[in-house]
Amino acid sequence: MGLRSVVRTANSLNADKDLAKLRKYPALDALHPGLKAELETISGVKGGRVRGLLRTQGFYAVPYSVAYADELMKARGLLNEAADALQKDDEEFAGYLRNRARDLLSDDYESGDAAWVTGHFKNLNAQIGSYETYDDELYGVKTFFAFSLLATRQQETTALRQAMKGLQALEDSLPYDHHKRIREDIPSVSMM
């Protein structure tokens, strides 16, 4: 039921293919500790339980980064290339791209999300990764990959920032105790 996992039939053929991906890409093995041992159990190399389930139950899950290892390793390389190309012009956007490149291999999007939310990107913005679950008609929990490249609209961003000045003062004046910090610096972007 994990957001970013693929369910496979538990047999040695599938487990061997997934083990081959971990051998081909040692970074995946390092980013997913314990997965190799689970796959070896399914493959028949070792006996016992897999994540508390007996092997006879028939299924196991692997993270997207293993299931789509070749494609995600390629995406990682391209994101890092883009980050290198943008480093001088937009250091924060380059940092976001590097974080997201790592996120694609770890299946944990927290660092990229944090860089995206707090970043002050100059001219470009991008939404990269597997987020949306609405196309999963089975349980509505599996995410799908998407990529959106956005261009900052400088004139509209300046106007929006001007219009939002003073929002924190408005929040602070409201009649309740637990005030939150309001972000007044929000860029206006358009799809490319």
pLDDT band for position 66 (cuts 50, 70, 90): very high
- Predicted confidence at residue 86, as pLDDT, reads 95
pLDDT tier, 101 (very low <50, low <70, confident <90, very high otherwise): very high
pLDDT tens per residue, range 124-147? 888 899 887 777 777 778 888 889
* pLDDT (mean) for 47-74: 76
21, 43 Cβ separation under 8 angstroms: no
Residue environment code for 88-122, b if the CB has 16+ CB neighbours within 10 A, otherwise e: eebeebbbbbbbbbbbbbbbebebbbebbeebebe
Statement: residue 54 has pLDDT above 70: no
105, 74 contact by CB (below 8 A): no
Task: Write down the pTM of the prediction.
Answer: 0.76
- The residue assigned the tokens 């493959």 is 43
Residue 62: pLDDT band by 50, 70, 90 thresholds? very high
* Model pLDDT for residues 144-175, shown as the tens digit of each residue: 888 988 888 778 777 777 777 777 788 888 88
